Amino acid sequence: MKYVKYLGKFPSLEGRYYIVTGANSGLGFDTSLYLAYKGANVILACRNLSKAEAAKEKILKEVPNAKLFIEQYDQASFQSIEEFVHRVSFTYPKIDGLLCNAGVYFPKQDYKTSDGYELTFGTNYLGTYKLLFSLKEKLNQDFSRVVIVTSLTATLSSKKIDIDECHKLSRNKIYGYSKYCLNRLCAELISKDNHITFNLVHPGIASTNIISSTQTGLPHWFQVLGHKFLTLFTHSSSKASLILLDGLLNNQHSQYIVPRGLFGISGYPKIKKIPKFSNRPIIEKTNILINSK
């Protein structure tokens, strides 16, 4: 396994419990592998159970004594999120950390969540929001750490449009906007909550399967070329995942963790103070949007 030397900087995680959403591939998979290697109990929160089982078997080949638990979790369905939170709250003794990693990029035209929201925004932002606030009591009780995965595209997103107008954006722009909303949410939660530690991370540009998912609306030729480009010119998922792991395990809090390389595209983790993304509150706006349907 790569980066064993880097992993040595962290203590044993024996007895600790971590939830990783979207754990069956990409950044979620590699972060789960690292947590398992350090001895943690890892809850693999995945939409596709067969892919989750395959990911579990792959981790076990690397870490034979890994403690892995699969839970079905569809971030595009509020009902699935509520059922997941119910199971987790009564099945596991505590939650030491939550990695909010699951998301979609450029889905097929007019795809929506189970609750009728545009799929990218509904999954990436509203689904994460729903999970955080549904699980909040458990997280508070355990003095947990939450890591929210954002993106470089969030910095390029429109700052003038508000969440009740996001349907006006193109599919290409709404991904960045969904991540921008996560930035705003994280900053607001940091200012409001004294029990839960929040860190925001962006992994740079990593070679993952985000543009070759079966859900994507991108042409097949673009998926093939895009994947080859990511493989050749960006850092690997296994390296990018060190940034997510650092967000979960470092001793600092209320931080923004990014790649240390040029323009934050790639590299090992670098810790920065979390910037103020917006002075406009977003929690109240989100509650109004969710309750409007």
- Positions annotated as catalytic residues are 180
| Block residue for tokens 């509020």 | 78
For residue 237 the two structure tokens come to 């998922």
Residues in the chain: 293
For residue 233 the two structure tokens come to 């010119």
Give the separation between CA 9 and CA 258, rounded to whole angstroms: 18
Burial class (CB in 10 A: 0-12, 13-18, 19+), 233: exposed
Q: Which residues pair with 98 in a beta bridge?
A: 19, 146
Q: Which residues pair with 197 in a beta bridge?
A: 145
Nearest C-alpha neighbor of 31 from the set 265, 210, 261, 247: 247
Q: Where are the beta strands (DSSP E) in the chain?
A: 17-21, 41-46, 67-72, 97-100, 145-149, 197-201, 206-207, 235-236, 255-259, 269-273
CA distances to 111, 147, 164, 177, 254 from 167, in Å? 12, 27, 8, 11, 31
Give the separation between CA 160 and CA 90, rounded to whole angstroms: 42
